[in-house]
Structure 1
Amino acid sequence: MATSKRQRVGILVIMIATVLGTLGSFAVMVLSMQSNRQAQAEYQKVLAEYKKNQAAYEEKKQAQTNALSAKYYETFKQYSDQVDKFDVNSVKSLSTEDLAEGDGAVIDSKTNFAAYYIGWDANGNIFDQSIDNNKLKDPLPVNGLSSAGIITGWKEGLKGMKIGGVRLLSVPSDKAYGEAGSKDKNGKQVIAANMPLKFVVMAIPAPENIPQPDMTKLLNAYQKSQQQR
């Protein structure tokens, strides 16, 4: 069927619009792909930088741990002979005994310090300690005795101790882990319910803080790389 001139012009306009639309979509797709490649490249660059900084942090942290271990291990290891079985009924209230008096500041609720320790139950089982294969682990940071990360027996029992000292704590269950006891990360019960505990704690000056690499830039780059997909 013959078409009029007006119809032919209309068809041509539609064809041109379709082609332009297709080209526009293709251009958008190309630009999106380029943007995605750029975002991915930036993320990989930031990730490599973060890994480098993290490795440097871990190296500094390990060097600090090793230096502290070399300084305190010989002194602290002698107190491992304190570990022994004890009568559950002998620990009804919190008691302390200074095995060595320090020469540093007196610990109060706001004192920042670090601690090496050995903890055991009435059966003489050590459930946690700072000694590991003839060296000391990274000491436990204590940012004031009011911090949430320590048991009541430590909050009350370490008060008045001097930095550099070693103290024996006898902790009743209600100031330790109470009726629930404590489980490890795999759900295994490591401290029985209503179990009194004993600790040998050495308080040392808080080590120099080594800041961890900031993850903000890495997270932002990752989110941007995902948004471009």
Structure 2
Amino acid sequence: MKKILSLLFVTTLLSLSASCQSNQKNKEAEALAQKNQEPVEVPAQDGLERAYFASGCFWCVEAIYESVKGVKESISGYSGGHTKNPTYESSNTGRTGHAEAVEIIYNPDVVSFETLVDVYFGSQDVTQVNGQGPDMGSQYRSIIFYQNEAQKEIIDSKIVALEKEYGEGEIAAQVLPFQKFWEAEGYHQDYEKRNPNNPYIQNVSIPRLKRFQQKFPELLKENASH
């Protein structure tokens, strides 16, 4: 028993060490990007604006945002990397630098960017590095993208508040200047809605959506339910 407990203790320490190292690398990459890249601002179109987030599997995140009042559409794709035209297969190698992300098309008269940020942090494990739930790897890391300094200030203030709760340096999300969003393959779009009996959707995606809906009922569209 003592040997088993010792082995578990060592395994836990190694896991925590690897997580800390991964988070340090992510934060170094974040600092480099903020220093060397100017954010790209996407112009509003027909009164609608766009925002970009990465938080684990994009099937889950897409469904969460589509349940929010003021969100017209949520599109699955890839962002945050260094290669052109990423695919699901290439991004899953972890070598493109891209993470599974979503493009949120929203009405700022109904829902603010600040509220979308609250949705982002409120629908994930904010301390999990390079993944969410069972999905692990750099392609599943959390990234919140800003298009201008006003957005960055909102994000930074939310992180400061969260760090008071979880501890300084414990928030895993990278804060990156937005560069480009690559739309994912067609079969990924509205995946949860179109594949309700998929085992992953049943066991991971829908429970994550329900947890969010229970936490933020005031933000939901009238027909947003599972």
Taking structure 2 as the reference length, the TM-score comes to 0.33
Taking structure 1 as the reference length, the TM-score comes to 0.33
